[in-house]
Amino acid sequence: MQPVAARQTIAVVGLGYVGSVTAACLASLGHRVIGVDRDPIKVDSILQGLPPFYEPGLDQFVSEGHASGRLTATLDLAEAIGDAGVALLCVGTPSAENGDISLEQLRRVCQEIAPRLDRRSKPLIVAVRSTAFPGTGEDVVTPALGGHPMAPVVSNPEFLREGCAVKDFMEPSLLVVGSASREAALTVAGLYQGLPVEAQIVALRTAEMIKYACNAFHAVKIGFANEIGAISARLGVDGEEVMSVLCKDYKLNTSSAYLRPGFAFGGSCLPKDLRAITYRGQSLNVKMPLLQSVLPGNDAHLARAISAALAFSAGTTGVYGLAFKENTDDLRESPVIYLIEQLIGKGRDLRVYDPHIRIDSIYGSNKRFLFDTIPHIGRLVTAGLDGLLTQSGRIILTQSPPAADRAAIEASGLPVLDISRIPG
Ligand SMILES: NC(=O)c1ccc[n+]([C@@H]2O[C@H](COP(=O)([O-])OP(=O)(O)OC[C@H]3O[C@@H](n4cnc5c(N)ncnc54)[C@H](O)[C@@H]3O)[C@@H](O)[C@H]2O)c1
C-alpha cells in the first residue's frame, strides 16, 4: 500500500517552532491548515500572515499561506479540529525536574480532544509530532483520548533543526510514521506527498524510538568529534582535518557499518586501541568521558548476553562461533571466550564449534592459544558442525552462520538462542 496522497484539512496543535513551520509548509503543499495555540500572540501573528518568530524562509511561507486562505489560526481547539481529518500535535515536551520528559502538554491536549470525538461524523487521526518517549502513544495519548475508535493514534516525529527548519521540512532527511492502524499511517504519510523523501512506515513504538535514537546518535557524533578534536589539539594535530578525512571513508565510517545492534565487540584492535587512546588522554589531562565509557558499555552489553545465555542453557549446550566475529580464526580478546568461561563457571555443560577453528587443521599461534592458554575451552571444541548438533540439546549462536550451516542448524530442530542479534 502507498501513502494516501490527498489534500486534507489539518489541525496543527501548538504553534511553536515545530508547529508554525509544519503548518506553513503543509499549507504550501496544498493542504488547508488551521493552527491552534493557547498563546494569543502566536495565533494573531499567523492571522496577520506573519511568522510568530524568526526562522529563515518562514515569513514567505506564512504570508503565502495566509494570502491563499489555506493557512489560518485560532485559540479554539474545537474549531481547529472540527473539519480536520488529521490533528498534528506539536506541543512542547520539555524536561521534567528529574530529567524525564514532561508529557503534561500532550496529555492535556488529548484530554481536550477526547470529549469532542463522540460528535464526529469522520475519524480524527491524532498524530504526535512532538518528541515523545516510546510507549507514549499507547500509554498516554490513547488513554487520554479514551481509546476512542474515531481517533487512531500515530507517531510522526519531527526532524527539523532550528535555523534551517523550513529547508529541513521541504527536503526532509527522514519521514517516519508509526501506528497500529496502517490506514492512518498511510494517510499521515500522504500529507508529505511531493516532498523528496520515502516514508518509513513502522510500528507506533518504533517511530517514537527512532526519534530518540536519531537525537542520541547526533549528540554522540558531536561528543565524539569534540573529544577527538580535544586530544588532537593536545597532540599538535589538526582535529578538523582528522575528522574531515575520517568522514571520507564512506564504507566504514559514514555508512551503516557497525550500526546494527548485535553482540559485544572484541578482537585484536578495538579494545586495545580504545585502552591506549583513553590512557593517553588521561596522561595528557584531556577529559574524554564518552570514549572512556565505551569499553564499560561493551562489558555491560556482554553481561546482557551472558544473562540470556545462562537463562537459555540447559543440558548440553552447543556454542556456535568462538572467534570475535565471522570469517576469522583470530581468538584474541574474543568476548565469546569470556561468555563460555562464565557459562562453565556456572556449571553448564558445553560443546563449541567455529567454522574457521577446526581442531583437525588448526596450526600456529591459534593452536597454541586454544590448547595451551585456554585448554578448558579447547577440549570442548567438536570436530565438525555435525558433532556440535548431535552432542547438544540446544544451540547458542554468537555469530551469523553461513547459509549451509544455518540450514543444518534449522534442520536439527534444536532450540536456538541467537546472541549475534540483540540479546533479550
Ligand atoms: N524545536 C526544535 O528544533 C524541534 C525539532 C524537532 C522536534 N521538536 C519537538 O517538537 C515539540 C515542540 O517543540 P517546539 O520547539 O516547537 O516547542 P515550543 O515550546 O516552541 O511550542 C509548543 C507550543 O505548544 C503550545 N501549547 C502547549 N499546550 C497547548 C495546548 N493545550 N493547546 C494549544 N497549544 C498549546 C505552546 O503555547 C507553544 O506555542 C517538542 O516535543 C520538541 O522536542 C523540536
- Averaged pLDDT in 10-residue chunks for the chain of 424 residues: 81 98 98 98 98 96 98 98 97 94 96 95 97 97 96 97 96 98 97 97 98 98 98 98 98 96 90 97 97 97 95 94 87 91 96 88 82 90 94 96 96 96 67
Q: How many CB atoms neighbour CB 334 within 10 A? A: 24
pLDDT of residue 70: 98
CA distance linking residue 66 with residue 135, whole number of Å: 37
Distance of CA 180 to the CA centre of its chain: 19
Testing ligand 1's pocket by substitution, the residue of 90, 156, 215 carrying the most ligand atoms inside 8 A of its CB is 90
Provide the annotated active-site residues. Answer: 269
Distance of CA 283 to the CA centre of its chain: 35
Nearest ligand 1 atom, CA 36: 33
- Edge-to-edge strand list for the sheet holding 175-179: 71-74, 32-36, 9-13, 86-89, 125-128, 153-155, 175-179, 199-202
Testing ligand 1's pocket by substitution, the residue of 53, 158, 211 carrying the most ligand atoms inside 8 A of its CB is 158
CA distance linking residue 89 with residue 18, whole number of Å: 10
pLDDT of residue 343: 96
Regarding the beta carbon of 76 and ligand 1, being less than 6 Å apart is answered no
pLDDT of residue 423: 60
Give, using CA atoms, the residue closest to atom 25 of ligand 1: 14
**Alpha helices (H) in 114-269, listed in sequence order:** 136, 142-144, 165-170, 182-190, 204-234, 239-246
CA of 38 to the centre of ligand 1 (A): 11
pLDDT of residue 327: 85
Regarding the beta carbon of 14 and ligand 1, being less than 6 Å apart is answered yes
Regarding the beta carbon of 131 and ligand 1, being less than 6 Å apart is answered yes
Regarding the beta carbon of 93 and ligand 1, being less than 6 Å apart is answered yes
- Of 407, 406, 332, nearest to 366 by C-alpha is 332
Domains of the chain, each with CATH number or no CATH: 9-205 (3.40.50.720), 297-418 (3.40.50.720)
Testing ligand 1's pocket by substitution, the residue of 18, 58, 103, 167 carrying the most ligand atoms inside 8 A of its CB is 18
pLDDT of residue 173: 96
Regarding the beta carbon of 19 and ligand 1, being less than 6 Å apart is answered yes
Dig out the grid coordinates for 386 from the structure.
555435525
Dig out the grid coordinates for 56 from the structure.
529563515
| Residue 396: strand pairing partners | 319, 417
